[in-house]
Each structure stands twice: as structure tokens, then as C-alpha cells.
Amino acid sequence: MDFDFELIIELQRLDAELHNAALVLEGIPRLAQDVDNRRQAATRLVAEAKDKMARNQKKRRDLETEVKDLKAQIGKYKRQLNEVKTNKEYTALLREIEEAQIKVDGLEEAIIAEMLAADDVEEEIKSALHKQGQEDEALGKEKAVLEEKMRETEARHAALAKERAALLPRIPREQIKLYDAIFQKKGGTALSPVTGDFCAMCHMRVRPQMLNEIRDRAAVILCENCGRILYLTAKPEPVKLRPEAGE
């Protein structure tokens, strides 16, 4: 088989780059989701602090209503003091008034505690809003960077795919078949350059006779260990595939 190594090496390069671009594209939505999650967490902190404030205010209103009711009750008892006939009734009323007053005192303390707590919650809301503002700006930028990277990579992927499509008709069908079979089996790398006397992919030593055959390019030589197509790079060292497009 007259094997055109230049073209098949180019095919491998394009496939490797397509694979890398696909990996980048695959990863971006997860990164974008992560940015959104962090944004939502900041928003949630604000909502939670505001909820806390709402609960605080509701509790204060409830306590104030209770105080108001008790004070009305105390007023009623005091008016009744003038109407009672016996000392016993009088003493009982005084005890009712005293008990109600103790409750009022306790409730008023609770109201003050809620008011103090409200100051803390107010601070919590402020700091949550501040944090949200900061995060929003930073995360907005992160998101824009990701979107830009997505666009770039998509364009790059499309260009590579076009290049690959243009390359394919230039390679004999049976060579592509062999390449594809090894490509599928070997996780996306069908070729391996020989560096020194070794297969660069699996580091198995290549026998001298095989080295000669590879040098002659008379036949396709597969690595005895990993089964990839072996080739010698044009320049013996360092092992480097062609420069990236656009470099």
C-alpha cells in the first residue's frame, strides 16, 4: 500500500484538535452553570436576610398587639376597682392587674429584643446586597469570557471540520478505513511517531528491521505493542507535529 504519511499525519492533527475543541465546548456549559449557581447563591442570601426582616417585623407587630390588648384589659380592671363591693374582690382584681402588668413588661422586653435584632438583620441585608453587587459584576465578566470562548471555539471547530472534510477525499479510502479502525480502538490516536527507537505513544522499542521499513515507507508498520501506525517525523528531533494553524 502506498501510504501518504503527510496526509494521514495531517488528518491525525486535525482530529486531535477537533477533539480538544470538542472537550472545551463540552466543558463550557458546566462552567457557565457554576457561574449562575454562584450568582443565585448571592441572590438567595439577600432574599434570606429580607425574609428574616419580614419575620422580625411580623413578630414585633404580634407582640405589640398583645401588649395593647393587655393594657386595655388592665384599664378595664382599674375601672372595676371602683365598683367592687368586697375587699376580697378588690384584692383579686389587684392581683389580676399585677399579673397583666408583669406580662406587659415581659412583652415589652421582647419587643426591644426584636428591635435590636432588626438592627443586625438590617446590617445583614446591607452586606448581602453589597456582596451581591460585587459578585454580579465579577460573575458577569466571567460569564462574558466563557461566552466569548464558546464562540471562538465553535468557530475553530467549524474551521477544523471544514479542513478535515477537504482533506478526506485526498486520502485513499482503505487508508482512512485503517486509520479509523485504529482511531476508534485507541482512544483517538491512530498514529505514533518513532522517537529514538521507541514508539512515542506506548514507549515500546521498535525493532531495527521495522525501523528500516518505516524509513522506507514501503509499507504500513504498526507498533507491535499498541497497534498504532508508526512513522518517522521529518525532523528527527524534537518530536513535534506541524505548527498550529494560525501560528
The 10 Å Cβ neighbour count of residue 244 is 8
**Minimal distance, residue 215 CB to Zn ion, in Å:** 17
Nearest CA among 150, 116, 137 for reference residue 27: 150
Consecutive H or E run containing 246? none
Instruction: Give φ, ψ of 195 to 5 degrees.
Output: -120, 125
**Minimal distance, residue 228 CB to Zn ion, in Å:** 5
- CA 238 – CA 53 distance, rounded (Å): 67
Instruction: Give φ, ψ of 133 to 5 degrees.
Output: -60, -45
C-alpha grid cell for residue 238?
A: 524534537
Residue that has been written with the C-alpha cell 422586653 in this structure: 109
- CA 129 – CA 126 distance, rounded (Å): 5
Instruction: Give φ, ψ of 222 to 5 degrees.
Output: -100, 145
Residue placing its CB nearer to Zn ion in the complex, 125 or 230? 230
Residue placing its CB nearer to Zn ion in the complex, 32 or 210? 210
**Minimal distance, residue 192 CB to Zn ion, in Å:** 5
Residue placing its CB nearer to Zn ion in the complex, 21 or 191? 191
**Minimal distance, residue 47 CB to Zn ion, in Å:** 58
Residue placing its CB nearer to Zn ion in the complex, 42 or 241? 241
Query: Where does this chain bind Zn ion (CB under 5 A)?
Result: 199, 201-202, 204, 223, 225-226
**Minimal distance, residue 191 CB to Zn ion, in Å:** 10
**Minimal distance, residue 227 CB to Zn ion, in Å:** 7
Percent helix, strand, coil in the chain, to 5, is 75, 5, 20
Nearest CA among 209, 210, 214 for reference residue 236: 214
Residue placing its CB nearer to Zn ion in the complex, 97 or 206? 206
Residue placing its CB nearer to Zn ion in the complex, 107 or 201? 201
Residue that has been written with the C-alpha cell 521498535 in this structure: 206
